[in-house]
Amino acid sequence: MDTVTTGPVTVFCDDKAVLAESIVWSPEEQVLRWTDITLGTLTTAAADGTVRSVVPLPPPLASFQPRAAGGFVAALGDTVVLTGPDGAVERELVHVQHATPGIRFNEGKCDPFGRFVVGSMDLGGEDPAGALYAVEPDGSVRTLRGGFGVANGFEWTADGSAMFVTDTSTSTIYRASYGPDGQLGELVPFISGAAHDGLVRDHEDCLWTAVYGAGRVERWGPDGAHLETVEVPAPNVTSVAFGGEDLSTLYVGTARENLAEEDLEHHPHSGAVFAVPTRVHGFPAYTFSG
């Protein structure tokens, strides 16, 4: 497989987010959205990077995804809520009692079958109690797997028969069987060796992963072979998603958290969303069916 020839990395929108995450492109509206987890804001930007709106929600706003009925499903600290098209919370859908007070929701994506899969993070000890949950449109919730330090970077194969899930705390992206019933099989290490964060698949079934703390995005083939590295001028790379008119632009989120003033002087665009043109394309985000 040929490596992807990517264009120059440019700043798409520099809103200096504390922790930009959960990037989602809307093909219908031709806008890009992302959260600042720490501040609890949902930002919408036009295709040229101009900010259209910044909607405050109760922080932490860990992740969100589009609803088929309009609006969004969003994970806060320990609740999953439904919002209207303007981002305002309409109602609470699910409340989860985390194992300890230090745990919060983190990554969340809709699977190919219309449910919202959301993970939590637990950095409080040697025996992490973070988990992966499946939230159904009717408001029911079940635990898919426990024992995560930082549940992160979700993606599915084209037919939905396998899921990729990252545990940033173990520097590993796992692969497991999956299907319409939402049952998650055994986690098998697929890619290891770096603090992988956000994850997205392109039309050649390759995975793009943000590497937190390393200032780069990596592309990996379906066989787990490393294909390409894209250097990003900000160390804390968090989230990746395809967007743009033909879904060939890779958008990359970054964070200012955990950086000293000296770091920010060297990397002044930390907290920005970057844009990288590619010769491949991604897919629209799956929607929550409820």
- The residues carrying an active-site annotation are 197
Q: Which residue has the tokens 């992206």?
A: 173
Residue pair 184/163 in contact (Cβ under 8 Å)? The answer is yes
Nearest to 137 by CA among 159, 119, 161, 111: 111
Q: What single DSSP character describes residue 259?
A: -
Distance set, CA 197 to CA 11, 14, 57, 252 (Å):
20, 20, 23, 11
Rg of the chain over all Cα atoms, to the nearest angstrom: 17
Residue pair 208/240 in contact (Cβ under 8 Å)? The answer is yes
How buried is residue 281: exposed, middle or buried, by Cβ count under 10 Å (0-12/13-18/19+)?
A: middle
Handedness of CA 19, 24, 25, 31 (dihedral sign): negative
- Assigned token pair, 90: 């309409």
Pairing verdict, β 249-254 and 72-75: unpaired
Handedness of CA 170, 175, 176, 182 (dihedral sign): positive
Strand order across the 216-220 sheet: 196-201, 207-211, 216-220, 226-231
Nearest to 10 by CA among 184, 213, 252: 252
Q: What single DSSP character describes residue 255?
A: B
